[in-house]
Amino acid sequence: MVRWNQKQLSKKFERNGIVEGHFQNDEHSIRYFEGGEGETVLLLHGFGGDAQVTWRKMFMDLSENYHVIAPDLLWFGKSTSTATPNLDSQVDAVKDLLDDKKIDQTAIAGISYGGFVLTGLIYAYPDLFTKIGIIDCPGVTYDVANLDTLCATQGVKSVDEIFVVKTPEDIQELSDLGSYKQRNIPNGILEDIYTVYYDQHHEKLTKLILSLKEEQGRFAIDTTLSFAPTTIFWGEFDRVFPIEEGEKLANFMNADFQMIPNAGHAPNVENYKDFLVAFRSFLEN
């Protein structure tokens, strides 16, 4: 069922002029999706998915007016690398892809872990980005000690036990944490989802999530950076990163703050209608 849905989504992408591409150099092998014409918008997914699933609705809507590109981050979807699993490698891979596509100006948006990759990019290449959209990611102002609180709440010892899916049952637990409206996923579907999306790269993903603690703090040291126009989007009932974290980041970046009602950690999925209105306003203003 999951593979069938994946094939149907690919066909729908094709009908809407969204093509699947592959970029490769000495280190990175990256799958990406691209479609539309106009101002470029780069979309970065989070830790629990890939580019196609995360942005399936937005891609088709935005590509009517914009040139949209969304890669699978390294070790997600169909992207891999021989590089060290850390944030710098993700930043390097995305920049290599943009260089290959000859994109020298783009709006950028990242959700959750994709927001941390976005942070690395905008600090490394501040002149590359015309607008910045951060979705449910606390970025440079996040106190990583709060991860210990999250682990205690979830009854685990380490953050990788929450975010690195190693069994079909982990998918249900991650869904329960990230969703505003919880739903029970049938066991057969959980097994299919795991086989299609989560049954590889466990060691690499564990290193990614564990290294983020040290990597995140270095960006806040630089308080001189002038950010491009920025909007912070946040699900009203996010239990991974509470809404106060988004407000704190917006204050630090002198950014607009958009609360998306009736949504948890993935407002682009749970309340897509309101999220799309807010996101289009961010792009157009």
**How much is the pLDDT for 212?**
86
Query: Does the pLDDT at position 220 exceed 80?
Result: no
Compute the average pLDDT of residues 258-277: 97
Query: Does the pLDDT at position 61 exceed 70?
Result: yes
pLDDT tens-place string over residues 168-183? 999 999 999 999 988 8
Helix count (H) and strand count (E) of the chain?
13, 9
The helix/strand/coil state of 28 is strand
The answer to which of 109-113, 149-153, 214-218, 242-246 has the lowest mean pLDDT is 214-218
CB 255 within 8 A of CB 230: yes
**How much is the pLDDT for 75?**
97
Name the pLDDT band for 48 (thresholds 50, 70, 90). Answer: confident
CA–CA separation, 53 and 197 (whole Å): 10
Average pLDDT, the chain: 94
- To 10 degrees, what angle do helices 202-217 and 113-124 make? 50
CA quadruple 189, 112, 157, 85: dihedral sign: positive
Query: Does the pLDDT at position 222 exceed 70?
Result: no
Name the pLDDT band for 216 (thresholds 50, 70, 90). Answer: confident
Q: Which CATH class is domain 2-145+216-284?
A: alpha beta
Residue 38: how many other CB atoms lie within 10 Å: 13
Locate the DSSP E strands across 15-66.
Answer: 19-24, 28-35, 40-44
The helix/strand/coil state of 23 is strand
pLDDT tens-place string over residues 190-203? 999 999 999 999 99
The answer to which of 3-7, 20-24, 98-102 has the lowest mean pLDDT is 3-7
Q: Does the predicted model carry a pTM greater than 0.85?
A: yes
**How much is the pLDDT for 221?**
63
CA–CA separation, 204 and 208 (whole Å): 6
CA–CA separation, 170 and 161 (whole Å): 9
